[in-house]
Amino acid sequence: MTLIINDVSRVFTSEKGETIEALSHISFEVKDEEFICILGPSGCGKTTVLRIIAGLESASAGSVSVDGVPVTSPSPKMAMIFQEYSLYPWRTVEENVALGLELKGMKKPNRMAVAKKYLDLVGLIGFEHSYPYELSGGMRQRVAVARALAIDPSILLMDEPFGALDAQTRNRMQHELLRIWEKTKKTILFVTHSVDEAVFLADRIVVLTQRPGSIKEIVTIPSVRPRERTSDEFGQIRRHLLDMIKEESDLIQ
């Protein structure tokens, strides 16, 4: 699987008729099983990039393709996970996980077997018949991950999925996500505001400039996993990224 983002730009027109350039000439390639983080200052277009890749928005110029096939609408090869969980409160955990399979017409016994498989993977066996309101934030996000995995996409797109979690739960979910990624071998694109999170998770980090977002640098993380946040190498990469983000943020002050 190869995902290619080729010279993508995005221009919006505001309600007042003003032209707003959100993205400018974004190009990068994602290889099979790679974990990519997209990082940048607030308002730089990180989520817009992800939505264009997902086929939820159109680029004003440029193209996105998977294995040479243009992405012009949501593709079954990709699943998107949002920060707000997007679970249906009237459905149980297993019913939420099985939703995509239900929409595909899979028979109930088969889809529940698939749901159970992925609930086991994310450590939620025993909570199949619970409702979202009965779960913690971290558990709800694990349900969202299981639901995305259940449809067996090639690519997971994650838009700040841990942004609403407390620091301790967020740290635990980062470890959980890496464990799941190593088991499933999915390609992941992960938007985050957190430099520390990006360095801990990614193979490469795509750093965007201030709006209009363009690629400032693509940073390869050389260290093997699991990574020690207190190591000198981790600290050096973290400082380099923070300096870049500060440099971009200072441009609008």
What does the pLDDT read at residue 184?
A: 93
Confidence of residue 252 (pLDDT cuts 50, 70, 90): low
What does the pLDDT read at residue 83?
A: 78
What does the pLDDT read at residue 226?
A: 86
Over the stretch 158-174, which tens digit does the pLDDT of each residue have? Answer: 999 998 888 999 999 99
What does the pLDDT read at residue 29?
A: 97
Tally of structural domains, the chain: 2
Q: Are residues 15 and 71 in the same domain?
A: yes
What does the pLDDT read at residue 98?
A: 96
Over the stretch 27-53, which tens digit does the pLDDT of each residue have? Answer: 999 999 999 999 999 889 999 999 999
Confidence of residue 143 (pLDDT cuts 50, 70, 90): very high
Q: Are residues 64 and 88 in the same domain?
A: no
> What pTM, to 2 d.p., does this model score?
0.92
Confidence of residue 244 (pLDDT cuts 50, 70, 90): very high
Over the stretch 203-225, which tens digit does the pLDDT of each residue have? Answer: 999 999 999 999 999 999 987 88
Once rounded to an integer, what is the mean pLDDT over residues 69-85?
Answer: 88
* C-beta separation of 87 from 95 below 8 A: no
What does the pLDDT read at residue 253?
A: 53
Q: What is the CATH number of the domain that holds 55?
A: 3.40.50.300
Q: Are residues 138 and 214 in the same domain?
A: no
Residue 116 has pLDDT above 60, yes or no: yes
Range of the domain at 245: 1-77+153-253
Measured distance CA(101)–CA(149) in Å, rounded: 11
Of 152, 167, 184, the residue that ends a domain is: 152
Which candidate, 91, 90, 87, places its Cα nearest to that of 147? 87
Measured distance CA(10)–CA(86) in Å, rounded: 26
